[in-house]
A and B are shown apart, each in its own frame.
Chain A
Amino acid sequence: LAKTTQPISMDSYEGQEVNITCSHNNIATNDYITWYQQFPSQGPRFIIQGYKTKVTNEVASLFIPADRKSSTLSLPRVSLSDTAVYYCLVVPSGNTGKLIFGQGTTLQVKP
């Protein structure tokens, strides 16, 4: 499974837009890019998944360039409750159970 690289930590303030970039240089043709959010002492929670271009849901947007070697998770107008660890994963199509997590990005939102 392709390995991902993302910043260890980020700081932001309430109301700002936060962009977390992830690199996945060895992504395969049938791989999807998936982001999870995890709060302390809880299981990870699915945020968004995409294959190419742009995907948007009620929580976030995911931007994927044409070469798919990187992706950017965009969180609009963050609040204190968005303080969490965010994981970028590359997941083969239909293989959602065998997830390979990195260290993730710890996002700290300040008042």
Chain B
Amino acid sequence: ETGVTQSPTHLIKTRGQQVTLRCSSQSGHNTVSWYQQALGQGPQFIFQYYREEENGRGNFPPRFSGLQFPNYSSELNVNALELDDSALYLCASSSGGEAFFGQGTRLTVV
């Protein structure tokens, strides 16, 4: 157990819909990062939040957005879902040391 909790664990959405994924970071960790992992590939960095501000972004379009709350929990929002958005979405929390990952949310877009 890493102390990083993601919800929901599985989700099915229709193309064009919007989705919100949630992450509770490990206690004391002020940095949260989000990753997308397609089947058979390594995780791809989406963006990172540090003390409620976006602090770095990977090669993802603006329809991928996020929030970090005062308690350092975080949300990932994806608008206008596409079939290729089907993936495992991972959240990781850190505080200057190693990153701890949650179990992920499996998103299927149909």
Number of interface residues of A (CB under 8 A): 20
B42 within 8 A of A: yes
B42 and A46 contacting across the interface, CB-CB below 8 Å: no
B108 within 8 A of A: no
Residues of B within 8 A of A (CB): 2, 4, 31-33, 35, 40-45, 48, 50, 55-56, 88, 90-92, 94, 96-104, 106
CA distance A96 to B99 in the complex (A): 6
Chain B residues with CB under 8 A of A98 = 33, 45, 48, 56
Contact of B2 among A43, A87, A102, A104 (CB under 8 A): A43
A111 within 8 A of B: no
Answer whether A101 and B44 are a contact pair too, CB < 8 Å, given A43-B90, A43-B92, A43-B104. Answer: yes
CA distance A43 to B104 in the complex (A): 6
Dominant secondary structure of chain A at its interface with chain B: loop
Answer whether A97 and B42 are a contact pair too, CB < 8 Å, given A42-B103, A43-B104. Answer: no
B88 and A41 contacting across the interface, CB-CB below 8 Å: yes
Name which residue of chain A comes closest to B106, CB basis: A41
Min CB gap A59→B, angstroms: 13
A99 and B98 contacting across the interface, CB-CB below 8 Å: no
A101 and B92 contacting across the interface, CB-CB below 8 Å: no
Chain A residues with CB under 8 A of B4 = 43
CA distance A100 to B92 in the complex (A): 13
Answer whether A97 and B104 are a contact pair too, CB < 8 Å, given A43-B2, A46-B99. Answer: no
7 contacts between A and B (CB under 8 A): A41-B103, A44-B101, A46-B98, A46-B99, A98-B33, A99-B43, A101-B44
Among A41, A43, A87, chain B packs the most CB atoms within 10 A around the CB of A43
Among B35, B96, B101, chain A packs the most CB atoms within 10 A around the CB of B101
Chain B residues with CB under 8 A of A53 = none
Min CB gap B53→A, angstroms: 13
Answer whether A43 and B103 are a contact pair too, CB < 8 Å, given A96-B96, A97-B92. Answer: yes
| Residues of A19-51 contacting chain B, CB below 8 A | 34, 41-46, 49
